[in-house]
Amino acid sequence: MLEALTNRLREASDHIRTRLADSRLNRRIADLPRDAGADEVVDFLFSPAARGIEAWQIPEEFRALARLVERRRPRAILEIGTADGGTLFAHARLAHEEALIVSLDLPEGPFGGGYPAWRAPLYRSFAGPRQEIALLCVDSHAGTTVTALAELLGDRRIDYAFIDGDHSYDGVRQDFELCMRFAADDAVIALHDIAPLPNPEWVRDDQMTAADGATRRFWQEVRREYAHEEFIHDVEQEGYGIGVLYIGAAVDPSTAAGSTDPLRSGT
């Protein structure tokens, strides 16, 4: 009984400390101008000021993607993989002022999924005055998720999606198919972890060995069908890398096989 009480007190203390940290983070976020551009948003996201909403990204790669989002100002965004909320924060800041941003995350998922319920208000606070953020703690592959998305989107079509969830081959394929189900004719779909070399943390983890280069393998197949771009900081890096598909754009046969060139800014 004493041990149970001690554990409860410890959990309560941890909860209070974390809530206080989130309160301080909110104040720092409020200092970032609402009209900040992509570079300023990314600089903030990868600074000590944003501690608590870390983005599991290489800054140079995500900066290139953020500039792309800023240019397009999407009105309907689907993000698969919320994690610590860093990419959600950036997407909300760079989306259209009346955008709907839907973020899916699988509780207890093997790739870092799930966040405590008390973090949800922090994530929703990323929305601008006329934006809406919808948080779904669900399996992106479930049929009920399709129904939930259909209800949220209504007549809207997704014009930007970011896939960074299940990194197994079948998982990323299903996530792509989900995005395509609701995609606008000229949508942009970005996939994370397309680098030629696998993430060593996954190779060593028994639960993640199926992800050893799986996203890269899917990327190599799907990029043949669409105009695309790759943001890879260093072709020798292990893991990371962002691939961007331009749905509806004409495919250039000379680039259909893809590229392993170093990072391109997309500008």
**pLDDT (tens digit per residue) in 203-245:** 555 555 555 688 999 999 999 999 999 999 998 888 899 999 9
Q: Report how many helices (DSSP H) and strands (DSSP E) the chain contains, helices first.
A: 9, 7
Q: What is the pLDDT of residue 207?
A: 54
- DSSP for 94-160, please give it: HS-TT-EEEEEE-TT-TTT----GGGHHHHHTTS-TT-EEEEEES-TTSHHHHHHHHHHHTT--EEE
Q: What is the pLDDT of residue 208?
A: 53
| Bridge partners for 189 per DSSP | 161, 245
Which of 97, 107, 112 lies closest to 57, judged by CA? 112
Instruction: Kindly report the pTM of this predicted structure.
Output: 0.85
- The separation between CA 224 and the C-alpha centre of its own chain, rounded to angstroms, equals 23
Q: What is the pLDDT of residue 16?
A: 47
d(CA 68, CA 264): 12
Count the Cβ atoms, other than its own, within 10 Å of residue 62: 26
d(CA 79, CA 175): 10
Q: What is the pLDDT of residue 204?
A: 56
Residues of the chain under the 70 pLDDT cut: 1-23, 108-114, 201-212, 253-267
**Which residues in 126-139 are b (16+ Cβ under 10 Å) and which e?**
bbbeebebbbbbeb
For 67, phi then psi, to 5°, come to -65, -40
